[in-house]
Amino acid sequence: MSVTTLTLDEVSHILTRASFLEAEDPLERAKRLAKRKIALLFYESSTRTRTSFELAAKGLGSDTTLVSSLSSSIEKGETLKDTGLTLRALGAEAIILRHPNSGSPWLLEQETRLPVLNAGDGMHEHPSQALLDLRTMLNHLRPGVTQVGPETLAGVTVTIVGDILHSRVARSNMLLLPRLGARVILCGPPPLLPDVAVDAGPGIEVERDFERALAQSTVVMMLRIQAERLAGLQLDLEEYKTAYQLNGERLAKFAPTALVLHPGPIIRGLEITPEVADGPQSLILEQVHHGVAIRMALVERALTQKGGQA
Amino acid sequence: MSTLLIRGGHLIDPAAGVDGLKDIVLKDGRVVEVAAPGKAKQAEGAEVIDATGLTVAPGLVDIHVHLREPGQGHKETIATGTAAAAAGGFTAVAAMPNTTPTNDSPEITRWMQAPERGSSVRVFPIGAATRALKGEVLNDYAALKAAGVVAVTDDGHPILKDNIMREVLAQATRNGLSVIQHAEDTRMTQGASMNAGATAFRLGLRGMPPEAEYGLVERDIRLVTELVHAGATKAGHQPHLHVAHTSTAQAVAAVRQARRNGLRVTCEVAPHHFLLTEEHVGCYSTHAKMNPPLRSAADRDAMIQGILDGVVDAIATDHAPHAAQEKEVEFERAPNGITGLETALGLSLRWLHHEWKMPLGRVLSLLSAQPAALLNLKGRGTLAVGSFADVVIFDPKQEWTYQVRDSKSKSRNTPFDGWTMQGKVKWTISEGRVVYRG
């Protein structure tokens, strides 16, 4: 549901299982959740999250079914509650939900009493993304580490840049990483990053100057401007690019060794230039790759413990 | 109508300055005698209610309820809403005009008050200030008043245009009506579903900034000031602006200042705004979604302070029933509001009186005498001889637990299910009739 509901022990368990399942023989792995039924309920479009959850669930042997808002009774006005109850009646044992409204996984869990995996809810959270981001960072900064604690990322500064206000990825990361000892710097213009963001949790700072933030960064996480959630907000994109675009020159000058992350989809030439996205510091495709392992661990966890949630 | 003797109770009637053991005789819907214990002269043949050990007070008055009729009977009807009122000790409720259709006319006003509605307690309709609550064309206030309307408002659809609000205030003043404003600059609250701030940011919800409320309160006070300077009071009536459900410290401060400046500006606070904060949204509970939203702890404390120091004129519930299926949806899509008629007294007694040591008489005054005076409901909010026989009799010491499944309301949307209350209503009497027996 939210990274805040996961203890560090549970995070460690997920990371450990992700590595184990990733390395396991695929035929053995496919027996773990053989013929278990998992529904993917997607009210928003998705490439990475949907595909990797689906591959993860299938990799463990389960049967999956995809219900998306455009090809189902949701179009006819069926509520989330009724759609969830319908999926349960069809035998679904867990539901992976992506939804445009913040908090909808709680509603679905409350009404169906099934384990619900949050694949992104509105502007709220995207916990599995934060976990795969963590795995990506650990892979480079703390190779081999899967047991995490409050000091694991001590000395690491992660800067999240851009449209923080509308980003569920930003929220999940800013609420998770400081608990492992990382410093999180949020960077963006006031309309996309309100001052109150620093009070969202401990260990969060705001730095409006991108270059000053870059100079302190071990990891730079770039975000897309979510045009679909701007709600009438007018933004001068040229001005934005001047101040916040991650281009080769900036990266070389202020953060020549930083890891570059982006949850995707990337808009080349807006928040990030192609040379950076495709460059040697970019881990964007590695993030995508880690998604499958992390989501295998999450799906397994949801179906093998009572009321599993993440 | 039969005669009723309420015997042995402790009468608290703040408006009449009574606080002691008294017997009361009710006859033909009126109070005919208030006497020392055992001394009533007009009690012959009366039916007796033994109120020994209980508090007897004027029936409570709620000047802000949504009874949903006409048109939204799946949420509440006048019959069920007023049954809930009676269970909560209320004997008079002022009903908001955001019905379907909106209460723009004498016909609807009379329809709401007709005996066929099966009301348990007296309903005072509040008229729509503008046609269909659109904030454009004023309704006919003289006709509405003649039909029984006690105030005008566009509740839920605040009047943003200065020129329209100015005209509403002027026309209402001319007709001796109060103007109630739901203060929310809706240009600042598009798509928002809770209080703006760190909690909303963390939950990924768009927030309603406090200035959307107090900014409009300040604007309205400015318009009242201008009206007074323009000599509107010469016609005999003073403009009366009543700010509905204040929820921000700055709005209460603005009302305080306006009063110091001699203006007739009043305000009410709902129990949820003096008890709960934005943290109660928790895991997106739609029972913590209302408008104005639950605010910060500092705002909540300012509501308590305003009540204790007297700036707040009334406790009003903003009773807003919604059907279960309407609230069992995504937080951002759920309608605003909670029910409140059955919990207002129990919460006020438990917290304002018991925890924060406000004298019982003052708590009761905020729930009866003051709101009745505010909307000029003659003969209500007091049990002086000649007043309406509107009485609540309760056990001030008894603790009890609110169980929403037992609610008389048609809806169940309350955050107070399972809360401990204080002061159990034993009888509610509306114009001489027992309408609730607890």
Residues A180 and A261 in one domain: yes
Mean pLDDT, chain B, rounded, equals 97
pLDDT of A310 above 70: no
**Is A171 within 8 Å of B202 when comparing Cβ atoms?**
yes
pLDDT of B351 above 80: yes
Longest dimension (CA), chain B: 67
CA distance A137 to A142: 8
* pLDDT at residue B2, as a whole number: 83
Any domain includes A74:
yes
Option in A104, A197, A232 nearest B330 (CB): A104
* pLDDT at residue A24, as a whole number: 97
**Is B201 within 8 Å of A199 when comparing Cβ atoms?**
yes
For B44-98, how does the pLDDT look when each residue is reduced to its tens digit (9 = 90+)?
Answer: 999 999 999 999 999 999 999 999 999 999 999 999 999 999 999 999 999 999 9
pLDDT of A204 above 90: yes
Q: Average the pLDDT over A201-223 and give the result.
A: 97
For B15-55, how does the pLDDT look when each residue is reduced to its tens digit (9 = 90+)?
Answer: 999 999 999 999 999 999 999 999 999 999 999 999 999 99
* pLDDT at residue A306, as a whole number: 46
Of residues B253 and A228, the one with the higher pLDDT is B253
Please say whether the dihedral angle defined by the alpha carbons of residues B84, B88, B92 and B94, taken in this order, is positive or negative: negative
Those residues of chain A whose CB sits closer than 8 Å to some CB in chain B are 1, 79-81, 99, 101-104, 106-107, 111, 121-125, 165, 168, 171, 175, 194, 196-197, 199-201, 231-232
Q: Which of B28, B318, B406, B417 is catalytic?
A: B318
Any domain includes A309:
no
DSSP string, A199-226: GGSTTEEE---HHHHHHT-SEEEE----
Residues A96 and A141 in one domain: no
Asked casually if ipTM beats, i.e. exceeds, 0.85, the reply is yes
* pLDDT at residue B234, as a whole number: 60
Q: Starting at the edge strand that comes first in sequence, how are the strands of the sheet with A63-68 ordered?
A: A63-68, A37-42, A94-99, A116-121
Residues A251 and A144 in one domain: yes
Residues A232 and A299 in one domain: no
CA distance B214 to A82: 40
* pLDDT at residue B354, as a whole number: 96
Peptide bond preceding B70: is omega within 30 degrees of 0, i.e. cis? yes
Share of residues in chain B with pLDDT > 70 (%): 99
3-state secondary structure of A281: coil
Nearest CA distance, A77 vs chain B (angstrom):
12
* pLDDT at residue A69, as a whole number: 83
Residues A236 and A295 in one domain: no
- Tell me the Cα Rg of chain B: 21
**Which structural domains are found in chain B, ordered by start?**
63-378 (3.20.20.140)
Residues A262 and A158 in one domain: yes
Q: Average the pLDDT over B223-234 and give the result.
A: 83
Residues A172 and A36 in one domain: no
Residues A171 and A214 in one domain: yes
Task: Note if B23 is an active site residue.
Answer: no
DSSP string, B142-191: HHHHHHT--EEE-TTS----HHHHHHHHHHHHHTT-EEEE----GGG-TT
Option in A99, A197, A231 nearest B190 (CB): A231
- Say if residues A181 and A245 touch (Cβ distance below 8 Å): no
**Structural domain range at position A23:** 3-125+291-304
pLDDT of B233 above 70: no
**Is A123 within 8 Å of B205 when comparing Cβ atoms?**
yes
* pLDDT at residue A234, as a whole number: 78
Residues A213 and A88 in one domain: no
Option in A106, A122, A123 nearest B283 (CB): A106
Q: Average the pLDDT over A128-149 and give the result.
A: 97
**Is B330 within 8 Å of A175 when comparing Cβ atoms?**
no
Any domain includes A283:
yes
Any domain includes A106:
yes
Any domain includes A310:
no
* pLDDT at residue A308, as a whole number: 38
Contacts of A106 in chain B (CB under 8 A): 283-284
**Number of independent structural domains in chain A:** 2
pLDDT of A111 above 50: yes
Residues A257 and A284 in one domain: yes
**Is B191 within 8 Å of A99 when comparing Cβ atoms?**
no
| B422 phi/psi in degrees, rounded to 5 | -130, 140
Any domain includes A173:
yes
**Is A101 within 8 Å of B197 when comparing Cβ atoms?**
no
Among B193, B195, B202, B296, pick the best mutation site for testing chain A contact (most A Cβ within 10 A).
B202
Residues A8 and A26 in one domain: yes
CA distance B15 to B364: 10
**Is A196 within 8 Å of B201 when comparing Cβ atoms?**
yes
Q: Average the pLDDT over B208-236 and give the result.
A: 90
Residues A224 and A260 in one domain: yes
Amino acid (1-letter code) at residue A6: L
- Spatial CA neighbour of A84 closest among A108, A55, A67: A108
CA distance B244 to B436: 28
CA distance B427 to B434: 7
* pLDDT at residue B232, as a whole number: 58
Any domain includes A272:
yes
Contacts of B190 in chain A (CB under 8 A): 231-232
* pLDDT at residue A81, as a whole number: 96
- Of A86-90, A228-232, B156-160, B233-237, which gets the smallest average pLDDT? B233-237
pLDDT of A309 above 50: no
- Say if residues B198 and A199 touch (Cβ distance below 8 Å): yes
Q: What is the CATH number of the domain that holds A141?
A: 3.40.50.1370
Q: Average the pLDDT over B323-343 and give the result.
A: 97
Any domain includes A237:
yes
